[in-house]
Structure formats: structure tokens, C-alpha cells
Structure 1
Amino acid sequence: MDVIFLNGGSSSGKSSIARALQAALPEPWLTFGVDTFVAALPAAGGGIEFGPDGGIVVGPEFRRLEETWMAGLAAMAAAGAHLIVDEVLLSGGAGQQRWLAALAGLDVLWVGVRCDPVVAATREAARADRIAGMAADQALRVHAGMSYDLVVDTTATDPAACARHVAAALASAG
């Protein structure tokens, strides 16, 4: 397997699962998240807007830059790096189609990371780096039209247990 792709809403536990996977897997896996990409965008001209209610709007400039981000990660995986992608596919299945095109020829384990919207919103409220409303807005939306190899739910399951499920799926796929 070349890529483990974690898709879930804000505060669903994707980053915690990614860190647990890095600790549990026998080979080194690099983690890259959408938060890293968004942080790398210029403050003006990056094509992304965050609404006060937690809504996110992306424009053509964001999509252009996102395409290069995806191509770069795919090139790393094609060169032999094992990647864990920590993503929030705001457009659900349409976003998955963009990633499928970028990752063509690579072995990808698609993992849906679900979390009850109320639980995700509670986690979000405890974090200083989130806009209130993001978790509730994204909790279900990011999974619309998606096709997964595995789904984990962090509502009542800790990240280490979710990572063990992912690692088991990885071992049986490989």
C-alpha cells in the first residue's frame, strides 16, 4: 500500500489516528494534512474563505494550488514514500474523484473517519485553532458520495483503536 487516505470532518480525530498509525506501523509513514496545505497558502490570494459560522468557500485559485499539492504528494508516494493523507473533502465524492486522478497507479486505502456531529462540535470548542461551526458543518457532508475501503467512528472509539483497525485493513490488503 502506498497511501492511507483519511477523510473526515474537522475535529473528527483524523490527525490523532494518523499519529497513532505512525507509531504502530513497522515502516515509516509520512503524514500530510489539509491543514498543512491551508497554512502554506498566502493570506491573500489563496482562494479560500472561512466564514464566521465555520463555513468554508474555495475558489478557482485554491483548486489550482490544491491540484499541485495533490500532484506533489502523489509524486512522493510514487517515489517510494508511504503517505498518510489527513483530508477534509468538503465536496465529498467530487473531491475523491480529484484525488483518484492524482493518485492514479498508486495503491490507496480509503478510510472514512466518522464522528457524531455533537461530539465533534464539543471537541472543536475545546480547540483554540478552530472556528465554531466547522465540525457540525463538515461531520456528514465530507462523506457524501464517498467510497471507502474502511470506516472508523471516533465518537466512542479512541484514536489508537481506530488506528489498529486501519493497520489490520492495511495488513489484509497487502
Structure 2
Amino acid sequence: MSHIIFLHGASSSGKSTIAQALQQKIAKPFWHISIDHLRDCGVLPLDRYRRGEFDWSDDRSAVFDGFHQSLAAYAASGNNLILEHILDTPGWDKDLRDLFRPFDVLFVAVHCPVPELNARERLRGDRPVGSAQRDQTMIHAGRVYDIEIDSMDGIEANVQTILQAWRSDLRKSEFSQSFA
């Protein structure tokens, strides 16, 4: 059975840094994947969206549906995943629960204090200011996680917490088989 470590947190919360460090420490090969990877490597014609040649609002649903389906296909082929994602759209949680049902999913909340999110967002400069704070206040409400971490605790501490939880095989999140 393939494993999916699902890092769920606001933009700029530290998901990418944690995922990269986790990938270096975990005992099995894991892909580190995010929609940002597709965006950043040129898979999506972002310049044409920015110029108005295409309307992102017309295509967003298909792009994310395809991304979600691809995650399940990677895992169904025997690949383990470290996924960074933000469940910010109604229905995505149900879609991913259905797609990930055959797999062992460790659902991890990645928290970060709002002042730090705002500072990171300003440093990045590639997100609208305020989007991270909006994510933080919205995306964790009503979620049931296997574990919750705070990126201010440091990368090594967070990686060790995730590894310990992954090794335990104890799953209680909304993505677990036993969740009712």
C-alpha cells in the first residue's frame, strides 16, 4: 500500500521546507509534490493567463481535478507521496478522501503564527498580501488531523514528529479508514 503524507497549511506556513527535509530523512522513497511544482516548471501557461488570453476561473476546476486524479494515479502505481496542498475549495476534501481511500494517509496540519505568515509572504513577493492570513483563518476549521505541527518549532522537530506519527500507523484523521 502506498503512503501519502498530506501537509495541509496556509500559504507560506513552511510546508515546502518541511516536505524537503522530510524527504531526506524518511526510510522509503517519497515523491514531494505540490501544485506549485506544476506551476513553477511551466506546465501551466501562466503568462497567457496573466495576459488575459485564457481565463483562470474557467480552467481552475479542471486543472485541480486533474491534479487530484494524478495524485491518486501516482499512489496507485506504488509511489509514496509527500503532498503539500491547501483545501481551500468546497468539495476538494471529499474528492481527495474518495481518491485516497486505498492508501495510508497521514494528514498533518501545518500551523504558523499570523505575524510570521505575513512576514514570509512579504519576503516571497509571489502571493497577494493577506492570502496566507486568509488561508490560516479558514482552512483548518472543522478539519480532523492525525497530527498538528507548528512551523515555529523548527524543521528538525517537525520532521521528527511527522516521522514518529508515520511510523506509528495510528490514523484518526478524516482521511483514515476508521474515521466515522
TM-score using structure 2 length = 0.81
In structure 1, what is the equivalent of residue 175 of structure 2? Answer: none
Alignment correspondent of 1:76: 74
- The match for 2:142 is 145
**1:30-56 deviation per Cα after TM superposition (whole angstroms, max 9, x unaligned):** 111121244433333363xxxxxxxxx
Q: Which residue of 1 aligns with 2:158?
A: 162
Report the secondary structure of 1:126's partner residue: helix
Distance 1:38 1:6 in 2: 18
RMSD: 1.9
In structure 1, stretches of 5+ residues that fail to align are 48-58
Larger of the two Rg values belongs to structure:
2
Quote the residue 2:133 is aligned against: 136
Helix, strand or coil at the partner of 2:143: coil
Amino acid at match of 1:148: Y
Matched-pair contact (CA < 8 Å) for 1:37–1:69: no
Q: Find the counterpart in structure 2 of residue 127 from structure 1.
A: 124
Structure 1 counterpart SS, 2:87:
coil
How many pairs were matched up?
161
Unaligned runs of 5+ in 2: 171-180
C-alpha distance in structure 1 between counterparts of 2:58 and 2:99, whole Å: 17
- Give how far 1:60 is off: 5.4
TM-score by length of 1: 0.84
Q: Could you tell me which residue of structure 1 aligns to residue 178 of structure 2?
A: none
Distance in structure 1 (CA, Å) of the matches to 2:95 and 2:157: 30
Paired letter, 1:4: I
Tell me by how many angstroms 1:7 deviates.
0.6
Residue pair 1:117, 1:140 contacting (<8 A) in 2 also: no
Find the counterpart in structure 2 of residue 52 from structure 1.
none
CA distance in 1, matches of 2:106, 2:9: 14
CA contact (8 A) 2:35 2:67 kept: no
Q: Does 1:62 align with 2:63?
A: no
